[in-house]
Copies of this chain bind each other. A is one copy, B any other.
């Protein structure tokens, strides 16, 4: 009775939201259609009415997550003209994005567990990292031209590096905390970690750093 001829678009969104949560916490096979429906105060049939199958619902969840990511990235305005500062902002932005929405990491892991099976079914998801990579490319190219960064930096490689450093820390928090016996979840621990990432990535990019080959 809560419901009753409500806004269908809203219903759809709500299903997606609850499904995102469910699949992120429990994975595709662990996620339960009933539970999602129950959390929407909806009969199970509605999920099928809107999404046709559990699998298609999962794909929709993935797509929606990618959209969300891209939209967030679109908001991303790296205002400063200092490339080093811009890089730092991008890194911090990336860490925060992963930390603030833990479903991203979980859903991506899930997808990789399935070897990209569901993602491949989606047409629209190719340019996932589009805006962020564009910004990054812009920043790096300018940094190289300015001589602030060393030449021939590959934006994708840079991205992969700081992404890995952000992602892995958050993704493997639980096992690492148990195995290393080290606090990784407190605000301050995480802040220190991002600082480290910024440091190592800056070192890697800045022109001042000696080329490794020279050192060796």
A137 to chain B, nearest CB (A): 12
Say yes or no for A64: interface residue by CB 8 A criterion: no
Known interface pairs A203-B209, A203-B212; A112-B164 also in contact (CB < 8 Å): no
The answer to whether B128 and A179 touch across the interface, beta carbons within 8 angstroms, is yes
Chain A 23-56: CB-based contact to B (< 8 A → 1; otherwise 0): 0011111100000000000000000000000000
A-B contact pairs, 25 of them (CB 8 A): A26-B29, A28-B30, A29-B30, A30-B30, A106-B113, A109-B171, A112-B172, A116-B177, A116-B178, A119-B178, A120-B178, A125-B179, A127-B179, A129-B180, A156-B182, A160-B168, A161-B196, A163-B168, A164-B164, A164-B169, A168-B171, A171-B171, A200-B203, A208-B210, A209-B215
Q: How far is the CA of A163 from the CA of B172 in the complex (A)?
A: 11
Q: Which residues of B contact A152 (CB under 8 A)?
A: none
Closest to A206 in B: B215
The answer to whether B112 and A175 touch across the interface, beta carbons within 8 angstroms, is yes
A172 to chain B, nearest CB (A): 5
Query: What is the size, in residues, of chain A's interface with B at 8 Å between Cβ atoms?
Result: 61
Given contacts A133-B180, A160-B169, A202-B215, 6 further A-B contacts (CB under 8 A): A116-B177, A126-B179, A126-B181, A164-B164, A171-B171, A200-B203
Closest to A171 in B: B112
Interface SS of chain A: helix, strand, loop or mixed? Answer: helix
The answer to whether B172 and A161 touch across the interface, beta carbons within 8 angstroms, is no
Closest to A176 in B: B160
Q: How far is the CA of A27 from the CA of B23 in the complex (A)?
A: 13
The answer to whether B212 and A174 touch across the interface, beta carbons within 8 angstroms, is no
Q: Which residues of B contact A106 (CB under 8 A)?
A: 113
CB-contact partner of A212 in B128, B133, B182, B199, under 8 A: B199
Say yes or no for A84: interface residue by CB 8 A criterion: yes
Considering only residues 108-147 of chain A, those with a C-beta below 8 Å from chain B are 108-116, 119-120, 125-129, 133
Q: Which residues of B contact A163 (CB under 8 A)?
A: 168
The answer to whether B27 and A175 touch across the interface, beta carbons within 8 angstroms, is no
